[in-house]
Chains A and B, each alone.
Chain A
Amino acid sequence: MQLAELQTVNAERAARRAVLVVTDIKGGAQRVVKAADVAADPLKEVLQKRLRLGKSGMEETPEGEVFVTVHVPSAKLVITGAVHISQALAPMAKMLGYDVAVVDPRTAFASPERFPDVKVIAEWPDVALPPLGVDRYTAFVALTHDPKIDDPALKHALERDCFYIGALGSRKTHAKRVDRLKQNGFDEAAIGRIHAPIGLDIDAVSPPEIAVAILGEITATLRRRDGA
């Protein structure tokens, strides 16, 4: 691979845009295709399919047997609630490769002492979220139990089409949340995208166990997606 092409790949990823590399593994010919340029590429159908699946692989094409590498942006995790569960969830998610941000306007919770090495933003979601670039490669988790904080953040996550959206709270709490979101104009399909109660059903009790349940569910959503 030419250094210039590698730089293009890295720059696209840093800008959180998907990029593909098409390699003729017999002849060595290679080209980089930015997501925005896929529609104009001779192999557009193959590349669109690969981009949709987010999976690299060999393809039989009119250009011969090529290997298509798909680079999608790294996943982000945005959490509202600098709570006990988040203290376990944030470092675990970092270990899984997520860029993590914790948002909580309550400064007693959102302190660097409670979250060493994690981006903690002690602001309301309407201030904190827009600069974070929440997108379809982002998982969003609402953990405050406080509708004043969680609701605006959930709306933001739904509007930005996060690949995973989860909200802590009992079925009863969630039923009230659903009512509020409906009043705000969100339809059943949108609201149905929210995982609540949050996390895989593994009878988790402690905050770190709940964090495992949440990360298990996020991982399943990320890896099983088909067409997302």
Chain B
Amino acid sequence: MDTMLARDEDILKAAEDWRKAGRGVALATVVETWGSAPRPTGSNLVIDEEGNFLGSVSGGCVEGAVVTEAMDVIDSGKPRLLEFGVADETAWNVGLSCGGRIRVYVEKVD
């Protein structure tokens, strides 16, 4: 599998394979977008307990934050709904420089 250009089904297959291999796994899905969002609704990112990930929910802007949240979700087993808006560059917070807003649902695979 080409990890640079993973297709949607490769990502879900990875989620299945990683879980079967005994790894803690979470699946993040873009559930809503407003304005200019880099990845469409339904886009997936799969994350394991060590922070390895495949896929994308943005153009690389918020994946880091989603991975961190996903590791908490793997621990707790409780799904989370995350929202990301425009980045405030002066505050160094995580956000989308494109000016859009997205909501990302993060759930554990168990």
From residue A33, how far is it (CB to closest CB) to chain B in Å? 15
A69 contacts which chain B residues (CB < 8 A)?
29, 42
Q: Which of A2, A28, A97 contacts B79 (CB 8 A)?
A: A28
Task: Decide if B12 is an interface residue (CB 8 Å cutoff).
Answer: yes
- A70, B8: Cα distance in complex, Å: 11
* Binary contact track A1-28/B, C-beta < 8 Å → 1, others 0: 1110011011001100000000101101
A10 and B12 form a contact (CB under 8 A):
yes
From residue B42, how far is it (CB to closest CB) to chain A in Å? 3
Interface size (B, Cβ < 8 Å)? 25
Task: Decide if A87 is an interface residue (CB 8 Å cutoff).
Answer: no
Q: Assess A1 versus B81: contact at CB under 8 Å? Given A10-B16, A57-B41.
A: no
Q: Assess A67 versus B9: contact at CB under 8 Å? Given A6-B109, A28-B107.
A: no
16 additional contacts (CB under 8 A) given A3-B19, A13-B9, A56-B41: A1-B109, A2-B110, A3-B109, A3-B110, A6-B16, A10-B12, A13-B12, A23-B105, A25-B81, A28-B79, A56-B40, A56-B42, A57-B42, A58-B31, A69-B42, A95-B5
B residues with a Cβ closer than 8 A to A are: 5, 7-9, 12-13, 15-16, 19-20, 27, 29, 31-32, 40-42, 78-79, 81, 105, 107-110
Q: Give 4 closest A-B pairs by Cβ, nearest first.
A: A56-B42, A97-B7, A67-B31, A28-B79
